[in-house]
Amino acid sequence: MKTESHLEKVLVSGNLAVTSECGPPRGCLPDHVREKGGYLRGVVDAINVTDNQTAMVRMSSLAASVLLKQEGLNPLYQMVTRDRNRLAMQADIIGAYSLGIDTMLCLSGDHTQFGDHPMAANVHDLDSIQLIQMVKAMRDEGKFQGGADIKGPPKMFIGAAANPFADPFELRVLRLAKKVAAGADFIQTQCIFNVDKFEKWMEQVRRRGLHKQVYILAGVTPMKSVGAARYMKNKVPGMDVPQDLVDRMGSVPKEKQPEEGITICIETIDRLKKIEGIAGFHIMAIDWEEKVKEIVDRAGLLPRPQV
Amino acid sequence: MMENFEPVIVAFCCHYCAYTAADMAGSQRLEYSPNVKIIRVPCSGKVDAIHIIKAFEKGADGVYVAGCLDGDCHFKNGNNRASRRVEYVQKYLDEIGIGSERLEMVKMSAGMGYLFAQIAIDMTEKIRKLGPSPVRPLAMQASQPIAC
Amino acid sequence: MITAERKPLEELIEYVRPFKRILLVGCNECVTVCSAGGRKEVGLLASGLKMALLQSGTTIEIREHTLERQCDPEYIDELLPMIDGVDAVMSMACGCGVQEVARRYKDKPVFPALNTKFMGASERQGVWAERCQGCGNCLLGMTGGICPIARCSKRLMNGPCGGSVTGKCEISKDVDCAWQLIWDRLKALGLEDQYLKIIPAKDWRPAGGGGPRKIIREDLAA
């Protein structure tokens, strides 16, 4: 064990891990965070707390993570390189660990153009792979980037993201290999709808033996409606939603579509369970946290292991 | 002033089409406005923004560039370049406050003497309605040498 | 080259409105090549300013002069015979030229006529695109000759991000994904393994993080 992270304990125990996410509110609404977290209590092993997701200003992921921690939940603190330079990032990592946060996800972040502050500078002092390297050096060598010793190094369990569906496809596994080489302990993937393509990706992952070096949590998302399915298919860069799934969502009446979306999500998890090298699932139910319990339950992943 | 206003119009005419069309109009005894001052150019694509702007600075109330029909440019695509340049200068004329409507791009073949005459008449009438260029007084001032 | 674009005429009119005589100075280097501040553009702007000001009842005398280079003091000295006769200078050079003119002629207000944009190359007639951000420590040897700092929207040194789709960047279909270009080129050169090398966190001091930059060639410096 590298850390005290609950997620690491679950993964090391050999159980399929389950994570989900919670987007912090756009204002000083701590109860909002507590409420969202409450839906996930006993349902998942860690809760991703997004960092200014889609480049919109929100309550900081650090503060929201602490709110969840105070509730006895396990936050998975996300950090993007878009908004801070390496001084600020290292300071926040130390701060987060001092407040009991021991699991984090290293990302580059959505471009500011997508959010409501397109006029803001994109910092990108580091990229996500360099951030992973930095967090690992802080943990394992107890060193800041500048070379000085850290008094009381942060022992973070380090996550990274992978998108098997973006282009160029042949680089997708190589980029994962770079993240693993940089020091990622676990990976959360982009939402998987095209399981066939994901299987091809995993085949290459296994060929390189990467599934033995890093825990891969397969990302899934329940679709709320045929409109949402179409939006993800057509408008979200790097998202691959096959047409037959869109058609299937459209084939049921509007009021039944949320139910159909959840059923598709559970079927996807069932298919993914059979793929060698999958260590768990990351369920991204955006503003639909109350449904995560049902998904985890129906996918046969409850109760969560006590480790 | 409007009543006695005789617009000054400068027409940059391509040697291969519009200028020949003007010639044709003359030999056909077609009447057109004497307000139009023709400047022969080897190709409409040769007309630069600076030529057009200087024409206004020196007192033109309207300017047009006359090139060959699409696909018939003697130099392949000089006429299309001229069209794009005219659009660019139109924007500048709006910025200056002269107004883009005082500048036009027209296209014709060498044989279209009647079209040349009609365009000259139409442009003159259009500019007559618009009135004198707002920067005409500049031309009245002692012209200054253009230092380079 | 350094690329630039003329500022809106409205802004320039307000700069020069208080003055009777100005000197409009072009530059024969980069801004001539990108059609923003050469001799021809100086002529266009002088005419435009005169005509625009006239409409609000202001006449202005504009002397036009285009220097070989506006970023070298030797050339800027050329303005000396003209400078006393004018109330202000408007420079059509990049920001370097504007500052050099201001440094040389301390008692004259100097205004920029252009917005300096980026270091770029001409993709085709009339189109210029960013190629270099002057980071001071060139990575191109590791990235197949394509710069991820200047050409990846997120400046990823170990890209591509998850938003690369069919060779285009997530921010716009008009922007090529720099990492797709890098990968295509590494493949064409048989250098795929190069991709697996992690480019470490960059030292931004040579990029300007260490304060204003200066090059001193001892053998040449006077």
C151 & C191 share domain: yes
Residue A49 φ/ψ, nearest 5 degrees: -115, 115
C40 & C98 share domain: yes
Q: Are C94 and C4 in contact (CB under 8 A)?
A: yes
Is the pLDDT at A286 greater than 90, yes or no? no
Look at residue C126 and tell me if it is in a domain.
Answer: no
Counting Cβ atoms within 10 Å, is residue A110 exposed (0-12), middle (13-18) or buried (19+)?
Answer: buried
CATH architecture group of domain A6-298: Alpha-Beta Barrel (3.20)
The closest of B49, B46, B44, B52 to B73, measured between CA atoms, is: B44
Look at residue B117 and tell me if it is in a domain.
Answer: yes
Nearest-by-Cβ selection for B148 from C59, C61, C64: C64
**Mean pLDDT on A268-283:** 98
Is the pLDDT at A276 greater than 80, yes or no? yes
Decide which of C118, C143, C165 is a domain's last residue: C118
Q: Are B46 and B81 in contact (CB under 8 A)?
A: no
Chains with at least 3 CB pairs less than 8 angstroms from chain B: C
Cross-chain residue pair A111–C196, CB shorter than 8 Å: no
Look at residue B67 and tell me if it is in a domain.
Answer: yes
Please report the pLDDT score of residue A237 as a whole number: 82
Q: Are A26 and A294 in contact (CB under 8 A)?
A: no
Q: Which residues of C touch B49 (CB under 8 A)?
A: 40, 44
Nearest-by-Cβ selection for A134 from C154, C161, C201: C201
CA distance C148 to A259: 44
Distance from CA of C207 to the nearest CA of B (A): 37
Nearest-by-Cβ selection for C51 from B48, B56, B148: B56
C15 & C101 share domain: yes
C105 & C141 share domain: no
Size of interface B-C (CB pairs under 8 A): 55
Cross-chain residue pair C196–A124, CB shorter than 8 Å: no
C118-122: list long-range contacts, CB under 8 Å, 24+ apart.
Answer: C118/C2, C118/C3, C118/C150, C119/C1, C119/C2, C119/C3, C119/C150, C120/C1, C120/C3, C121/C1, C122/C33, C122/C34
C9 & C114 share domain: yes
**Chain segment C82-97, per-residue pLDDT in tens:** 999 999 999 999 999 9
Q: So where are chain A's domains?
A: 6-298
Look at residue B44 and tell me if it is in a domain.
Answer: yes
Q: Which residues of A touch C163 (CB under 8 A)?
A: 110-111, 166, 237-238
C105 & C169 share domain: no
Look at residue C173 and tell me if it is in a domain.
Answer: yes
The closest of B38, B33, B8 to B23, measured between CA atoms, is: B38
Angle between helices B78-96 and C9-16 (to 10 degrees): 50
**Chain segment A217-252, per-residue pLDDT in tens:** 999 999 999 999 999 999 888 899 999 999 999 999
Beta-carbon neighbour count of residue A126 at 10 Å?
A: 26
Distance from CA of C121 to the nearest CA of A (A): 23
Please report the pLDDT score of residue A179 as a whole number: 98
C33 & C110 share domain: yes
**Mean pLDDT on A270-298:** 96
Cross-chain residue pair C66–B148, CB shorter than 8 Å: yes
Cross-chain residue pair A168–C160, CB shorter than 8 Å: yes
Distance from CA of B119 to the nearest CA of C (A): 27
Look at residue B58 and tell me if it is in a domain.
Answer: yes
> Could you tell me the pLDDT band of residue C185, with boundaries at 50, 70 and 90?
very high
Q: Which residue has the higher pLDDT, B140 or A185?
A: A185
Q: Which residues of A touch C204 (CB under 8 A)?
A: 125
Q: Are A266 and A214 in contact (CB under 8 A)?
A: no
Q: How far is CA C56 from CA C14, C19, C43, C158, in A?
A: 12, 14, 21, 56
Look at residue C221 and tell me if it is in a domain.
Answer: no
Tokens in use for A258? 């949320």
Answer whether A168 touches C (CB < 8 Å): yes
Is the pLDDT at A22 greater than 90, yes or no? yes
Q: Which residues pair with B73 in a beta bridge?
A: B76
Nearest-by-Cβ selection for A238 from C155, C158, C162: C162
C67 & C14 share domain: yes
User: At CB < 8 Å, which residues of chain B contact C?
Assistant: 48-50, 53-54, 56-57, 92, 95-98, 134-135, 137-138, 141, 144, 146-148
Tell me the pLDDT of chain C averaged across its residues: 96
Nearest-by-Cβ selection for B49 from C44, C54, C65: C44
Cross-chain residue pair A166–C204, CB shorter than 8 Å: no
Task: Give how many domains chain C has, as a whole number.
Answer: 2
Please indicate whether chains B and C are in contact, defined as at least 3 beta carbon pairs under 8 Å: yes
The closest of C131, C195, C157, C173 to A108, measured between CA atoms, is: C157
Look at residue C31 and tell me if it is in a domain.
Answer: yes
Distance from CA of C125 to the nearest CA of B (A): 11
Q: Per-residue pLDDT for chain B (148 aa), expressed as one digit of tens each?
A: 556 899 999 999 999 999 999 999 999 999 999 999 999 999 999 999 999 999 999 999 999 999 999 999 999 999 999 999 999 999 999 999 999 999 999 999 999 999 999 999 999 999 999 999 999 887 776 455 444 4
Please report the pLDDT score of residue B142 as a whole number: 46
Please report the pLDDT score of residue B141 as a whole number: 65
Most distant CA atoms of chain C, gap in Å = 69
CA distance B12 to B8: 13
> Please, what is the Cα angle at A90 between A110 and A280, to 5 degrees?
55
Answer whether A2 touches C (CB < 8 Å): no
Q: Domain containing C90: what range?
A: 2-118
Q: Which residues of A touch C158 (CB under 8 A)?
A: 127-130, 175, 178
**Mean pLDDT on A45-70:** 97
Size of interface A-C (CB pairs under 8 A): 102
**Chain segment A98-152, per-residue pLDDT in tens:** 999 999 999 999 999 999 999 999 999 999 999 999 999 999 999 999 999 999 9
Q: State the pairing for strand pair B36-41/B9-14.
A: parallel
Please report the pLDDT score of residue A259 as a whole number: 96
In the three-class reduction of DSSP (H, G, I as helix; E, B as strand; rest coil), residue B18 is classed as helix
Q: Which residues of B touch C44 (CB under 8 A)?
A: 49-50, 53, 92
Look at residue C213 and tell me if it is in a domain.
Answer: no
Q: Which residues of B touch C50 (CB under 8 A)?
A: 57, 135, 138
Distance from CA of C165 to the nearest CA of B (A): 33
CA distance C122 to C128: 4
Task: Give how many domains chain B has, as a whole number.
Answer: 1
Q: Which residues of A touch C198 (CB under 8 A)?
A: 129-130, 133, 178, 181-182
Q: Domain containing B44: what range?
A: 9-133
Please report the pLDDT score of residue B2 as a whole number: 57
Q: Which residues contact C167 (CB under 8 A, 6 or more apart)?
A: A167, A168, C176, C177, C180, C181
Nearest-by-Cβ selection for A238 from C165, C196, C202: C165
Tokens in use for A163? 């998108």
Please report the pLDDT score of residue B146 as a whole number: 44
C114 & C7 share domain: yes
Distance from CA of C40 to the nearest CA of A (A): 34
Please report the pLDDT score of residue B3 as a whole number: 64
Answer whether A208 touches C (CB < 8 Å): no
Please indicate whether chains A and B are in contact, defined as at least 3 beta carbon pairs under 8 Å: no
> Please, what is the Cα angle at A123 between A121 and A124, to 5 degrees?
140
Look at residue C127 and tell me if it is in a domain.
Answer: no
Nearest-by-Cβ selection for C180 from A114, A126, A167: A167
Distance from CA of B23 to the nearest CA of C (A): 32
Q: Which residues of A touch C161 (CB under 8 A)?
A: 108, 128, 163, 166
C92 & C186 share domain: no
ipTM of predicted assembly, 2 dp: 0.93
C43 & C144 share domain: no
Look at residue B21 and tell me if it is in a domain.
Answer: yes
Q: Which residues contact A167 (CB under 8 A, 6 or more apart)?
A: C160, C164, C165, C166, C167, C177, C180
Distance from CA of B71 to the nearest CA of C (A): 20
